[in-house]
Amino acid sequence: MDIRKDFVTIHGEMVLLKNYSSLNFAGLVKILKKYDKRTGELLQLPFTQLALHQPFFTTEPLTRLVRDCEANLEVLFPLEAEVVQSTTSERDQRNPTPSETTNISAETSSSLGEETVDIYRSTLAAMRTIQGLKRASSTHNSLSFASIFGKQDDENTGAVTAENSPRDSLATEPEANVDGAHSPQ
């Protein structure tokens, strides 16, 4: 059972790393946008182009590792609920009541250990932060977090991949929107 806990911990740490990598890039873009607005300089575009070539920008390898870890967990440690047939109806399994959810959460947190629960809470906090950053901006900017991640489904929230990378959009960015002069921030 310790091996399973270690796998879960590694998986949680990789998910956190993936989320925080995305948040780092989003933070860089927001800081540079604010700096450009206050000073009138145009540092956002060159620094963002430089960041596009840094290891923290893309999370594709990390996403692949997370999926591999999930697959290994499923193969090595299948959930007992999947092995033993349940007597509850299919509808009840899909829509547990809030009290059942609370009981599941309490049981899970007591069995997983304090370190794993901390990782889980940190992951939820990072995901909430990413959702907050996905709000639409008052000015269109292909480098904004909402533009990069707004078209994705919930499974890939926060993951920067070659498909959603704004690399090609840098050359087409209208200059009037790059400085963020019309932004209320």
pLDDT value at 29 more than 70: yes
Output the DSSP codes for the chain. Answer: -HHHHHHHHHHHHHHHHHHHHHHHHHHHHHHHHHHHHHH----HHHHHHHHTTSTTT--HHHHHHHHHHHHHHHHHS--HHHHSPPSS-HHHHHS--HHHHHHHHHHHHHHH-HHHHHHHHHHHHHHHHHHHHTSPPSS--TTSHHHHHTTS-GGGTT---TTT--GGGSTT--HHHHTTTT---
Q: What is the pLDDT of residues 133-180, one digit of tens each?
A: 666 555 556 655 555 555 444 444 444 444 544 444 444 444 444 444
- CB-side neighbour CA atoms (13 Å) of 107: 6
Distance from C-alpha of 83 to C-alpha of 9, rounded to nearest angstrom: 23
For 179, phi and psi rounded to 5 degrees? -80, -15
Query: Average pLDDT, stretch 2-11?
Result: 84
- Token couple for 120: 């889980």
Nearest residue to 119 (alpha-carbon basis) of 35, 19, 47: 19
| Confidence band, pLDDT 50/70/90 cuts, at residue 131 | confident
Q: What is the pLDDT of residues 48-95, one digit of tens each?
A: 888 888 776 778 888 898 899 888 888 887 766 544 444 444 444 444
For 14, phi and psi rounded to 5 degrees? -65, -40
